[in-house]
Amino acid sequence: MNPVSTNTELTTLLSALASIGGPLQWALLASAVFLGLVSFMPSLKKIRERALCVVVGLLATGEVALIWFHWRLYAITAVVSPVTGETTGHVAVSMWVESEKLFVWALILGLMALFAKRHRSELLPGVCFSLALITIGAVLWGQPFTEPLPQFLGQYRGYLAASGSGDINAAMGAYQGMESSRAYYYNTWYMWVHPPLLFISYGAFVMSFVSTIFMWIRRHSSYEETAYRWARLGYLPLTFGMLLGFPWAILAWQGESWWWSGKVNMSIMMWLLYTAYLHGRLYLRRKGMWRVVAILAMLSFLVLVLTYMTTYIVPGAHSYA
Amino acid sequence: MPRGEVGPVTRTNDTAAHRRPWDFGLTIATVVLLGGLGAQSFIGTLYSWWATRQIPLWTQNGYYGFVDTMNAIAAPQVLALVVVMGLCVPKRLFSRTALVAVSAGMVIAGVVVWAFTGSTAQGLTVYLTLAALIQVAVVVMTMAGARGPSYLTQGRMTKIGSGLLHLGFVIFAIVVVALQRSPFMEPVFWTSAVLTTVGTIMAFYADKFAVRRVRPVTPED
């Protein structure tokens, strides 16, 4: 591997992604803003449905572009031992890290909104508005096409620079860092399963939250049933995804105090609250219990949002994810 | 309860729920403990967010002290949660009097092991193992269609699912308490993960899998 030519290939790939994704980002932003504006206008029901289709279509197109980008990235990002000169492997960066997380969340929520049937007409305004917000966040904050994977590319470019510097100690240090990231983070099976499971649950919990709001306002149990159906769909991948994190964390974060890191704290809290909600609703017919259940459901969702934000604002083992 | 149609198909009626104050008490205790741990997690996160901004070099110097404090606060809550989780198991199988005796026996066994070994982890492991054994019996009896186990939910698939997922959680608790550094960690963990997931699917979606067996009508009927 020649660090200079690899760097040039990387730059070419990033330019290609920006040229495809730049206009797509603007189109997504415009359609998401439009979707947000028409969300709560009853007279524009048909237009809202079409705007939803457009946003989901653009998100799906963007995801295809990102899959292509990651495929090409894998081919380029070889890791070579500075001692033997042999390639030890490539970096397989999954499509739901760093700048791409909100994008995946938006796509999953959009698909759920498209296929939702129960109380569809009532839920859609709230869900479309949430989708618009997440999509706008994905475009403005994440910038997955114009500023992709800043942490990974920073690390890999640092590794390339160290490899080409002629300083064997610097090259060895950068190589070991890259190999460690590859073995315990990017290339682990876990990174290909854990985040998408959580994003499926996040999408379902948005649907559940909107339904709970309706239950609270209209005081009708059928909305509670809808909220529960979405919550159980979200709880299953949430539980399985979080459980999967345990053996991986023991191996990858050996010796680190990860139990009380911000993201782990908040994730456990979120799971505990959703568990409490699902247990609480077993007693839904007790007097006043529906209020407790509704408050638990809304609180759980609030914590979900905070859990997502924690990655960015509280340092800890998940900060780089 | 808001007006309108009846809620989930898996829930039993009011009277049955009122007949089980023990169930309700345990559920409330679980919710309170989960809420307490949740609140601690939230306050801890806020504190670490504040500390990293306000206290110089906190991540290097203060973080480990923070972890110790959090552990000390969480330990009694986690202990109580594990005990409550264990107490949730025999309630399916025993009558009120026997239930108190079995629950007390489990706690005493755990305390005795803790007193002899001086290890909270070993005491909890014994307690949880007893809970897991009872839960296995509950699941087997539910699968066999025995009348013994009682549930808040209805439908055999839902009950089996509920039994399996709670068994999965008890086994996961054993992994966390006792097997983190054991070579058995991975197989036991995967057993708990599969039980929890399959149990959750069955408990949530039993109505989707249910096969209704209709006895053909004969002239004698």
Give the ipTM of the model, two decimals please.
0.77
Residue A309, pLDDT score: 84
Which residue would you say has higher pLDDT here, B152 or A168? A168
Domain region containing B152: 95-209
Q: Would the CB atoms of B7 and A279 count as touching at under 8 Å? A: no
Provide, as residue numbers in chain A, all residues whose Cβ is less than 8 Å from the Cβ of B88. none
Distance, in Å, from the CA atom of A243 to the CA atom of B198, rounded to the nearest integer, reads: 13
Residues B197 and B143 in one domain: yes
Residues B115 and B162 in one domain: yes
Which residue would you say has higher pLDDT here, B18 or A60? A60
Which residue is associated with the tokens 């994905």? Answer: A138
- pLDDT of residue B215 exceeding 70, the answer is no
- Per-residue model confidence as pLDDT tens digits over B51-74: 888 888 887 788 878 877 887 888
Residue B9, pLDDT score: 35
B201: nearest CA partner in chain A: A236
- pLDDT of residue B18 exceeding 60, the answer is no
List the 246-285 stretch of A: residues with Cβ below 8 A of B.
246-247, 250, 257, 259-260, 262, 265-266, 268-269, 272-273, 275-276, 279-285
Residues B131 and B64 in one domain: no
Residue A15, pLDDT score: 94
Least CB-CB distance to B193: which of A235, A243, A268? A243
Residues B162 and B77 in one domain: no
Q: Would the CB atoms of B185 and A260 count as touching at under 8 Å? A: no
Which of B54, B88, B122 is a domain's end point?
A: B88
Residues B37 and B128 in one domain: no
Provide, as residue numbers in chain A, all residues whose Cβ is less than 8 Å from the Cβ of B4. 220-222
Which residue in B136, B140, B148 sits closest to B174, CA to CA? B136
Provide, as residue numbers in chain A, all residues whose Cβ is less than 8 Å from the Cβ of B11. 281-282, 284-285
Provide, as residue numbers in chain B, all residues whose Cβ is less than 8 Å from the Cβ of A290. 1-2
Using DSSP's 3-state secondary structure scheme, residue A78 falls into strand
Percent of chain B topping pLDDT 90? 8
Task: Using CA atoms of A220, A305, A185, A64 in order, give the dihedral in degrees to the nearest 10.
Answer: 70
Residues B62 and B168 in one domain: no
Using DSSP's 3-state secondary structure scheme, residue A80 falls into strand
Contact A300, A277 (CB under 8 A): yes
Distance from CA of B215 to the nearest CA of A (A): 31
Residues B130 and B203 in one domain: yes
Domain ranges of chain A: 1-187, 189-321
Picking from B37, B45, B201 by the largest number of A CB atoms within 10 A of its own CB, the best residue to mutate is B45
Provide, as residue numbers in chain A, all residues whose Cβ is less than 8 Å from the Cβ of B153. 282
Least reliable range by pLDDT among A27-41, A207-221, A303-317 = A303-317
Residues pairing with A89 in the sheet? A79
- Per-residue model confidence as pLDDT tens digits over A152-198: 999 999 999 998 888 888 889 999 999 988 988 888 888 899 999 99
- Interface A-B, measured as beta-carbon pairs within 8 A, has a size of 141
Residues B110 and B74 in one domain: no
When pLDDT is cut at 50, 70 and 90, the band that residue A42 belongs to is confident
Which of B29, B53, B88 is a domain's end point?
A: B88
* Position B216 in a domain: no
When pLDDT is cut at 50, 70 and 90, the band that residue A317 belongs to is low
Give me the sign of the Cα torsion angle B113, A251, B75, B199.
Answer: negative
Which residue in B180, B194, B195, B72 sits closest to B125, CA to CA? B180
A236 in reach of chain B (CB within 8 A): yes
- pLDDT of residue B12 exceeding 60, the answer is no
When pLDDT is cut at 50, 70 and 90, the band that residue A113 belongs to is very high
Contact B44, A260 (CB under 8 A): yes
Residues pairing with A78 in the sheet? A90
Residues B82 and B101 in one domain: no
Going from the C-alpha of B73 to that of each of A202, B76, B78, B161, the distances in angstroms are: 29, 7, 9, 33
B37: nearest CA partner in chain A: A269
**Which phi and psi (to 5°) does residue A95 adopt?**
-85, 20
* Position B66 in a domain: yes
Distance from CA of B112 to the nearest CA of A (A): 29
Residues pairing with A220 in the sheet? B3
A215 in reach of chain B (CB within 8 A): yes
When pLDDT is cut at 50, 70 and 90, the band that residue A128 belongs to is very high
Residue A230, exposed/middle/buried by CB under 10 A (0-12, 13-18, 19+)? buried
Q: Would the CB atoms of B70 and A260 count as touching at under 8 Å? A: yes
Total number of domains constituting chain B: 2
Tokens of B184: 């058995």
Residues pairing with A90 in the sheet? A78
Distance, in Å, from the CA atom of A39 to the CA atom of A52, rounded to the nearest integer, reads: 9
Residues B62 and B134 in one domain: no
- Per-residue model confidence as pLDDT tens digits over A267-311: 888 888 898 888 888 777 778 888 888 999 999 999 899 888 887
Provide, as residue numbers in chain A, all residues whose Cβ is less than 8 Å from the Cβ of B17. 282-283, 285-286
Distance from CA of B23 to the nearest CA of A (A): 10
Pinpoint the alpha helices (H) of A253-288: 262-280
When pLDDT is cut at 50, 70 and 90, the band that residue A247 belongs to is confident
Residues B202 and B99 in one domain: yes
- pLDDT of residue B5 exceeding 50, the answer is no
Which of B35, B61, B88 is a domain's end point?
A: B88
b/e map of A294-313 (b: 16 or more CB within 10 Å)? bebbbbbbebbebbbebbee
Residues B112 and B83 in one domain: no
* Position B44 in a domain: yes
Which residue would you say has higher pLDDT here, B100 or A75? A75
* Position B45 in a domain: yes
Residue A253, pLDDT score: 76
- The DSSP H or E segment spanning A67 is helix A45-76
Half-sphere exposure of B138 (CA within 13 A, CB side): 25
